[in-house]
Structure 1
Amino acid sequence: MTITLDQLNAASQAEFTQLLDGSYEHSPWIAAQAWAQRPFASLAQLKLALVRVVRESGREAQLALIRAHPELAGKAMLSKTLTAESSHEQGKAGLSNCTPAEFARIHQLNANYNAKFGFPFILAVRGPRGLGLAKPEIIATFARRLDNPPDFELAEALRNIHRIAEIRLNDKFGHSPDLGNLVWDWAEQLGTHSDPGYAERGELTVTYLTDAHQACARQLAHWMRDDCSFDEVSIDAVGNVVGIYHGSDPQARRLLTGSHYDTVRNGGKYDGRLGIFVPMACVRELQRQGRRLPFGLEVVGFAEEEGQRYKATFLGSGALTGHFDAAWLDQKDADGITMREAMTQAGLRIDDIPALRRDPARYLGFVEVHIEQGPVLNALDLPLGVVTSINGSVRYVGEIIGMASHAGTTPMNQRRDAATAAAELALYVEKRGGSAENLVATVGMLEVPGGSINVVPGRCKFSLDIRATTDEVRDACAADIVHELQALCQRRGLHYRLEETMRAAAAPSARAWQQRWERAVEALGLPVFRMPSGAGHDAMKLHEIMPQAMLFVRGLNAGISHNPLEAITNDDAELCVRAFQNLLDQLATEFP
């Protein structure tokens, strides 16, 4: 028998607690304390109220909650004394049917975990889709989390407890996040395409105009055309996948949205791609309802944003703003293939690129949904955040040149070691990047070409990435780092080369559009949390020609991104789609 919010809102404290019994393992006090926060306007609001009770309960109560949970495949399961909910979850993940070797491995992991942390390992074994995790994934997660610091692991245990409760609440309410499931499944299917050398290892890497990249474009176009019934679908001259859903007047202005479908090397399934899937799901629902908005909706899967294959970023969105640099065509990848050759081989018409520039007068603005790519929302137990501004960024690639020499015969005071100079620079970058609020600086790549264990490095290549909420703070940091590079090379008898590969101005959100996202979040019964974006996005390019604003969704695993552990839940994906639908509804009422 399912329950309803009306039942809960009308219930006494005892009735309320009984209706939610089992949501949190052996911990009815959580529901009892949340009762005072009635009435609840949405299931999402109820879930957050329960989370907040736990957040505010103090460490001892939190530890008691964690210890109320049974071990995975432990004594309680073997003696059949698990709660009905835990028995169902562990059984769904196959833990009640382990091989002797799997039982032994999990038993040892349980022992090691309890010895280190003093509480049982907690994992939402029904997973981010609610269908159950595979045993190898459970065991790998168990082993990985053993390396976490104690405070971090306590927080991770609580996050998993909240996810367990969320799934149990969905069951109680008979709620299925169908639109979130659709988005989640699209991400899984698109994630099957990966570049050679990575695909064989089960890693996701999709770089500009590789076979995997073109397969992704074809797959997106297929979904837009056949699953979502866009009116027009095309792949343009730089590889962008463009879907148009006309308004009631096909000549009406359009809302532009989307994100990128390329990835970093060994990256995640949601960075960029989420911002394509969410509006696709909205169009699918509009078409199923036979509904036309008073404006058009144009969804773009941008072909390139990450700058992985060539020393250029925002190729896809840059083409739409009229900022595609023809000089990029002569850049070569690691295999010596120029961008021009890659585009020609992919069947793209380079001469058509200038015509891709969008006329801002034909558009209402640009909005983008994106995984946060950081730990903030996850740490706050908030599913959605409204972006106030995208940080300005600048990137460089450089090389320090010294003299390769014999490691055994070259005195320490006569070496011209390029690698130690790069290490010294990296330490300065770390220090300078931490010297101002909302400033970050990173040396993400270091390489000693042809290095050998018994040779003093004569060359060292490096990268540099600097970001800040204002261009002034970013540029001051960059100037200081370049000055430090000059000084240390002079002191060490070295020289260097440095090339700026990308510069993007800070992009504050347009106030009216940010407020629309805020109202969309409020309509879900969630609090509005405002935050800057430290990562760059296609929205910062579109910002150059039209108003823009972004919505963030939290990631799992402490919000990690650019990593295979990047993940979201189907419930959070559902909230994204619902928020986007609300934004569209707002626009429909505002449209003249």
Structure 2
Amino acid sequence: MPTLTDLNALPADAFVHALHGIYEHSPWIPERAAPQRPFASVAALKQALQAVVTAATADEQLGLIREHPELAGKAAIAGQLTAESTSEQAKSGLNLCSPEEFATLQGLNADYNAKFGFPFILAVKGPTGQGLTRQAIIATFARRLKNPRGAEVAECLRQIHRIAEMRLNDLLGVQLAYGPQIMQWAEDLAQWSDDVDGLTCAYMTNAHRRTATQLADWMRDAGMQVSIDAVGNVVGRYPSDAPDAKTLITGSHYDTVRNGGKYDGRLGILLPLALVRGLRARGEKLPFHLEVIGFAEEEGVRFRSTFLGSNAVVGRFDMNLLDAADAEGVTMRQALEAAGHDEAAIPAIARKAEDILAYVEVHIEQGPVLLGRGLPLGVVTAIAGSSRYLVELTGLASHAGTTPMDMRKDAAAAAAETVLLVEERCGRVPSLVGTVGQLAVPNGSVNVIPGACKLSLDIRAAEDGVRLDAVKDVLAGIEALCDRRGVEFALHPIVQAPAAPCAPWLMDQLGDAVERSGLPRFDLLSGAGHDAMAMAALTDVAMLFTRCGNGGISHNPLETMTADDADIAATVLLDFLRSFKQR
């Protein structure tokens, strides 16, 4: 089994031969990468091979895609696949298809080739390398068949790079130290859900409380001092032996949106937990206390109140929120009491700024930027500020058949115009986004003009001035269109969160650790809100993003990442912790 040192020292032709099975029947890829040796790390080698493909012509890229066999296709049946492809297809049981599954795959192969002109490519060993189920493969096949051709070319190339990554791991005997455990823990946590058919973990439900208990158990097993505070934050402390040590905090939230993904928030808890377990196993201590906090609530699903956990830590918990009620009429106070928490202890959760070194959060990107650039990691520059509202429009319900079009007070039509207004205004500025994510016609009927409509409004930008200007224009536009249509509107503010810039001194240390891993440093904005926004009121903050698969989909069951990306993120964070320099 060769090592990276061996590959760096080989003559060019021997280097190409050693990598002959990494990219299917495509020796030109290692040929073009060979002059860039020596590679400082396996990650750097992977990036170099990927860069060759990215720089190739469109015809060369299509040729690479066409070198790959169909899944459970004629070549597989005839035993004509490469050893690597044979092993990979067998890993997912494609050699054991039932007649019905085989017929389905043959039909999908035919439809896909007819639409795109090349075979469907999927890294069937999956995010963890353990193999996707045949059902998951068929579902992915059917979903991607709906993609436009350009998007599918890009996705096929990404899948080829994932296949190459796992083949290179096998060739070099790479053992991931942290990634598989992180992925398994995320899978284990997903069993606790408020819903049977998806992952929903809302604040202080039974699923939420069981998740907290599981996190606490894992933290104790990793050798941490553990507590669950009065708002449900799970706090694991790995103490330092250094006298007068301060505390560096990391973590994220463990609640989810409705029918959400397995990695949003939870990655930022499980990844440093895996690091602590390794530190303890080696008997290694840090020159500062390390706290991993699983923040109890960030998403605002149950009580429409975001950042409950992190706001308690920074001393900004709004005690008036205890009177907020969920859809069933249960107040937050009642939910906390039922879980055994003492509301009187909430103020004591607040930390003192002088005791804290910094806050650093690892999070899945929840977008397509890193994926599009072929990068596992990115350093966050700032977290966009957000203005969120609920808008109630009140018109006049009347008969759909007898009311002339020019005499209507249609609340739904006003809502539709509002959606287009938000799209037009926020589309003018590249760093500005606006979304109407909720839209409802209460008690609507097919033959009644809507007399009421409720919608949400979410406007975000990296610069507060840009965001607030857009909010002003949108609200003025809603008022004008409602006046024109004879519709009343009421506005209910939910969130006003200022943009949170990351601290350059922390960004640089994260960026240096990324580069030491063999990856290029890449900086990007976070359009999503994170607990780091709240923590910025207490201390300097930084964030490390990991790549999000499936086109960057998040807040969705299709949210995915890989064990390799989790592993290199963990390696980078560990390097950051070991090399950390106080300001």
- Secondary structure of the residue that 1:583 maps to in structure 2? helix
User: For the residues of structure 2 that align with 1:536 and 1:128, how far apart are their CA atoms?
Assistant: 26
Alignment of 1:12-23 (within 5 A): 12-23=11-22
Distance apart, 1:329 and its partner CA = 0.9
Q: Deviations over 1:261-311 (max 9, x none)?
A: 011111101111100011111111110011111110011000000111112
User: For the residues of structure 1 that align with 2:354 and 2:582, how far apart are their CA atoms?
Assistant: 15
- Gaps (5+ residues) in structure 2? none
The reply on whether 1:217 has 2:212 as its aligned counterpart is: yes
Residue in 1 that maps onto 2:73 = 74
Residue in 2 that maps onto 1:397 = 390
Residue in 2 that maps onto 1:490 = 483
Distance apart, 1:49 and its partner CA = 0.5
Distance apart, 1:591 and its partner CA = 5.8
Alignment of 1:73-112 (within 5 A): 73-112=72-111
Q: Deviations over 1:443-484 (max 9, x none)?
A: 000011111111111111100111101111110100111101
Residue in 2 that maps onto 1:62 = 61
**For residue 217 of structure 2, what is the amino acid of its counterpart?**
H
Distance apart, 1:249 and its partner CA = 2.9
Structure 1 591/427 Cα, relative in aligned 2: closer, same or farther at 3 Å? Answer: closer
Among 308, 312, 334, the residue aligned to 2:305:
312
Residue in 2 that maps onto 1:422 = 415
Decide whether the 8 Å contact of 1:329 with 1:340 is kept in 2.
yes
Q: Deviations over 1:328-371 (max 9, x none)?
A: 11111111111111111111110001111110100101000000
Among 223, 226, 244, the residue aligned to 1:229:
223
Distance apart, 1:177 and its partner CA = 1.2
The reply on whether 1:351 has 2:344 as its aligned counterpart is: yes
Distance apart, 1:404 and its partner CA = 1.3
User: For the residues of structure 1 that align with 2:336 and 2:442, how far apart are their CA atoms?
Assistant: 29
Residue in 2 that maps onto 1:434 = 427
The alignment yields a C-alpha RMSD, in angstroms, of: 1.0
Among 318, 328, 351, the residue aligned to 2:321:
328
Residue in 1 that maps onto 2:538 = 545
The reply on whether 1:293 has 2:286 as its aligned counterpart is: yes
Residue in 2 that maps onto 1:580 = 573
Distance apart, 1:411 and its partner CA = 1.4
- Secondary structure of the residue that 1:194 maps to in structure 2? coil
Residue in 1 that maps onto 2:510 = 517
User: For the residues of structure 2 that align with 1:97 and 1:410, how far apart are their CA atoms?
Assistant: 63
User: For the residues of structure 2 that align with 1:486 and 1:113, how far apart are their CA atoms?
Assistant: 49
User: Percent sequence identity over matched residues?
Assistant: 56
Residue in 1 that maps onto 2:5 = 6
User: For the residues of structure 2 that align with 1:251 and 1:448, how far apart are their CA atoms?
Assistant: 59
Distance apart, 1:523 and its partner CA = 0.9
After TM superposition, the score normalised by the length of structure 2 is 0.99
Among 239, 242, 248, the residue aligned to 1:249:
242
Distance apart, 1:187 and its partner CA = 0.5
User: For the residues of structure 1 that align with 2:93 and 2:568, how far apart are their CA atoms?
Assistant: 29
Q: Deviations over 1:477-510 (max 9, x none)?
A: 0011110111111111111111111111111111
Structure 1 250/350 Cα, relative in aligned 2: closer, same or farther at 3 Å? Answer: farther
Q: Deviations over 1:528-561 (max 9, x none)?
A: 0011111110001111121001000001111111
Distance apart, 1:435 and its partner CA = 1.0
The reply on whether 1:475 has 2:468 as its aligned counterpart is: yes
Residue in 1 that maps onto 2:25 = 26
Among 489, 492, 503, the residue aligned to 1:499:
492
Distance apart, 1:178 and its partner CA = 3.1
Distance apart, 1:409 and its partner CA = 1.6
User: For the residues of structure 2 that align with 1:22 and 1:328, how far apart are their CA atoms?
Assistant: 59
Structure 1 250/190 Cα, relative in aligned 2: closer, same or farther at 3 Å? Answer: farther
**For residue 336 of structure 2, what is the amino acid of its counterpart?**
M
User: For the residues of structure 2 that align with 1:509 and 1:376, how far apart are their CA atoms?
Assistant: 18
Decide whether the 8 Å contact of 2:75 with 2:81 is kept in 1.
yes
Residue in 2 that maps onto 1:566 = 559
User: For the residues of structure 2 that align with 1:406 and 1:342, how far apart are their CA atoms?
Assistant: 43
Structure 1 100/436 Cα, relative in aligned 2: closer, same or farther at 3 Å? Answer: same
User: For the residues of structure 2 that align with 1:356 and 1:250, how far apart are their CA atoms?
Assistant: 24
Decide whether the 8 Å contact of 1:258 with 1:276 is kept in 2.
yes
User: For the residues of structure 2 that align with 1:68 and 1:273, how far apart are their CA atoms?
Assistant: 38
Distance apart, 1:437 and its partner CA = 2.4
- Secondary structure of the residue that 2:460 maps to in structure 1? strand
User: For the residues of structure 2 that align with 1:133 and 1:178, how far apart are their CA atoms?
Assistant: 22
The reply on whether 1:121 has 2:115 as its aligned counterpart is: no
- Gaps (5+ residues) in structure 1? none
Alignment of 1:356-395 (within 5 A): 356-395=349-388
Residue in 2 that maps onto 1:406 = 399
- Secondary structure of the residue that 1:337 maps to in structure 2? coil
Distance apart, 1:251 and its partner CA = 4.5
Residue in 2 that maps onto 1:208 = 203
Residue in 1 that maps onto 2:163 = 164
User: For the residues of structure 2 that align with 1:225 and 1:545, how far apart are their CA atoms?
Assistant: 27
User: For the residues of structure 2 that align with 1:380 and 1:130, how far apart are their CA atoms?
Assistant: 22
**For residue 325 of structure 2, what is the amino acid of its counterpart?**
K
Among 274, 287, 296, the residue aligned to 1:281:
274
Decide whether the 8 Å contact of 1:250 with 1:296 is kept in 2.
no
User: For the residues of structure 2 that align with 1:545 and 1:303, how far apart are their CA atoms?
Assistant: 18
Decide whether the 8 Å contact of 2:357 with 2:582 is kept in 1.
no
**For residue 15 of structure 1, what is the amino acid of its counterpart?**
A
User: For the residues of structure 1 that align with 2:103 and 2:271, how far apart are their CA atoms?
Assistant: 42
Decide whether the 8 Å contact of 1:294 with 1:591 is kept in 2.
no
User: For the residues of structure 1 that align with 2:360 and 2:177, how far apart are their CA atoms?
Assistant: 23
Q: Deviations over 1:53-86 (max 9, x none)?
A: 0000021000000000000000001100000000
Residue in 2 that maps onto 1:142 = 141
- Secondary structure of the residue that 1:178 maps to in structure 2? coil
User: For the residues of structure 1 that align with 2:526 and 2:541, how far apart are their CA atoms?
Assistant: 13
- Secondary structure of the residue that 2:346 maps to in structure 1? helix
User: For the residues of structure 2 that align with 1:538 and 1:563, how far apart are their CA atoms?
Assistant: 20
User: For the residues of structure 2 that align with 1:566 and 1:458, how far apart are their CA atoms?
Assistant: 37
For these two proteins, the number of residue pairs brought into alignment is 583
User: For the residues of structure 2 that align with 1:221 and 1:448, how far apart are their CA atoms?
Assistant: 43
Decide whether the 8 Å contact of 2:384 with 2:526 is kept in 1.
yes
Distance apart, 1:250 and its partner CA = 6.5
User: For the residues of structure 2 that align with 1:503 and 1:274, how far apart are their CA atoms?
Assistant: 26
User: For the residues of structure 1 that align with 2:315 and 2:560, how far apart are their CA atoms?
Assistant: 34
**For residue 165 of structure 1, what is the amino acid of its counterpart?**
A
User: For the residues of structure 2 that align with 1:171 and 1:123, how far apart are their CA atoms?
Assistant: 18
Structure 1 447/591 Cα, relative in aligned 2: closer, same or farther at 3 Å? Answer: closer
User: For the residues of structure 1 that align with 2:390 and 2:92, how far apart are their CA atoms?
Assistant: 46
User: For the residues of structure 2 that align with 1:91 and 1:430, how far apart are their CA atoms?
Assistant: 47
**For residue 132 of structure 2, what is the amino acid of its counterpart?**
L
Decide whether the 8 Å contact of 1:310 with 1:339 is kept in 2.
yes
**For residue 560 of structure 1, what is the amino acid of its counterpart?**
I
User: For the residues of structure 2 that align with 1:29 and 1:558, how far apart are their CA atoms?
Assistant: 28
User: For the residues of structure 2 that align with 1:292 and 1:10, how far apart are their CA atoms?
Assistant: 37
User: For the residues of structure 2 that align with 1:545 and 1:208, how far apart are their CA atoms?
Assistant: 23
After TM superposition, the score normalised by the length of structure 1 is 0.97
Distance apart, 1:179 and its partner CA = 0.6
